[in-house]
Chain A
């Protein structure tokens, strides 16, 4: 009987608007607890962190040193694509030759101008004979002229540099290339764990090309770190199937004991080991 009574009571609660409010309140309390323990509500203690840079001075020979870099694409095809087109588009009056003489003209006057000015000097000397007082003016005029020429040259150089910068296609390619830490903040703590792990595990990984018969081997390992950065566990998500390869991966992972800085919470990373750039 009591069982029926409880059912009825529960049915009553469902129709009771207080039940919804109670549930929301409970949800709010739980959420507050989660926020409280996650530390989001409180400002973190800010340490004065010194910037740390990872510098890899070891350049090991690799099959394709540029592999993987966005700027690895050969610059020549780009240059070809850019250069021949304007020439083809305007064969009767190629713009390039025009631009070049201009550049030569601009460069030459630097040396040529004094020579051009000098012939004036004898003239001035001739004038001097008749009108002596204008000598100082003449000098000032010469000086002004030289300053104007220098300014013009600087302006021309600036213009040429702007033109070159506009034409430089490499600029765009390099700007997309990875440089330093991908999401680094300039400090060890802010540095990318991915970049650090990549570098560490790569250096810890030893495998000779004479140990493996195939180059299409691949293994994926999941690493788990605790909040202090200690390696808690590792397991193969996918093995290569070749014992020597998998063993070399295991040995590399076993050398990793701790991250340089605690991540603050449990962290998992999937690492893929393959032989795309193994020496031929």
Chain B
């Protein structure tokens, strides 16, 4: 009796202090990180405000495109934005917390002649600590590259995976009166012409290893496949078989190319070496087979075929040769692009007289339409990290290159004005 009374009392005494209830929070209140990007300040040497402005503009543009951040208006910045101190002990985190910033980018530059040294830091204002920091050395003309590189670093620090902003986008433009191959930065700047074929250049694709491209050109009067090294400028015609030599795509290991040939009368997909030697015929059907896109593991291709009537996307197991149909909806599905993570395949679908971009899982489930509104959106290609899609669209009149996040948000034009631009391709890490 006494013992049971004792146990009850002890139990009550223990329990009274810790009456627990679970509180469930089902989503973060802030779903974009409030970020402040300050203007980089001169540390030493000459003062060039335009360099600091360019660096800040590139960082803001890249990080805004990522969708990860809510950029804080620089007009609200307090005195710490004008202090050059780059150590976590020198940053007034209280000021940034006051503005609601959870992260802040600060930096400084040193100019000695044409030599530019850029110091960039990302701070966590809650933990009052440095998240990442980089020092870049180069010429003043490299300021944009340095900013892109740091934007990649910021994404790596906050997501675990680097951004794609240091990569390049190849595209076809007719601004000279001929369709030529061009290269530009991810935000459309620094556009440079790569070919001077004065003919028709089409379907570029970047090698996964090394800085080289393949493309189709009518330079010799026929649609032949060419390979070009970017740095040396060397170029070679690697496939000039009878008929079409189009839509070449490097295998992820960079050793082979899937190419559409019509040497036997009908368009079929073949596997060739980077020197042009024929390795294997992949498709064999009465229908037109074209536009192969490799799975990231290089064991399958998605391609377009009208073997069942209308053009649809199919998937072929490259080793076993088994083919299955991927898209069921729509009457005209074209230009598939397998995401680098392998989880989705982007393609364009013709409906009501215009193309729109869609994505679908490789098992045919979860089809999603990403683009809406006027204009045709075609030729989607993934960024090397799978975060973004680049495509061509005539929504603004002449065809231009656009970029959006993989979920269809944040779409923006990136190609420079002048001429019509199409057939984009995104490089790997540059």
Contacts and interface: CB of A to CB of B under 8 A. Distances in A.
B68 A275 contact: no
B102 interface: yes
A270 B20 contact: yes
Contacts of B13: 34
Given A34-B13, A208-B31, A274 B24 contact: yes
A244 interface: yes
B31 A207 contact: yes
B127 interface: yes
Interface stretch (A83-91, A153-161, A173-181, A261-269): A261-269
A206 B102 contact: yes
A24 B2 contact: yes
Interface stretch (A1-9, A71-79, A101-109, A247-255): A247-255
Nearest to A222: B20
B31 A278 contact: yes
A100 B34 CA distance: 57
Given A210-B66, A244-B159, A268-B18, A203 B26 contact: no
Given A205-B25, A210-B68, A277-B26, A244 B158 contact: yes
Contacts of A60: 29-31
Interface string B1-39: 010011001000100011011111111111111100000
A28 B13 CA distance: 15
Contacts of A115: none
Contacts of B102: 206, 251
A194 interface: yes
A63 B69 CA distance: 19
B24 A210 contact: no
Given A27-B6, A255-B126, A279 B31 contact: yes
A23 B159 CA distance: 64
B18 A67 contact: no
Closest 9 CB pairs of A and B: A277-B27, A203-B29, A276-B26, A206-B30, A205-B28, A207-B28, A202-B29, A277-B26, A272-B24
Interface of B: 2, 5-6, 9, 13, 17-18, 20-34, 66-69, 102, 124, 126-127, 158-160, 387, 405, 407
Interface of A: 20, 23-24, 27, 31, 34, 58, 60, 62-63, 67-68, 194, 197-198, 201-211, 220, 243-244, 248, 251-252, 254-255, 265-266, 268-280
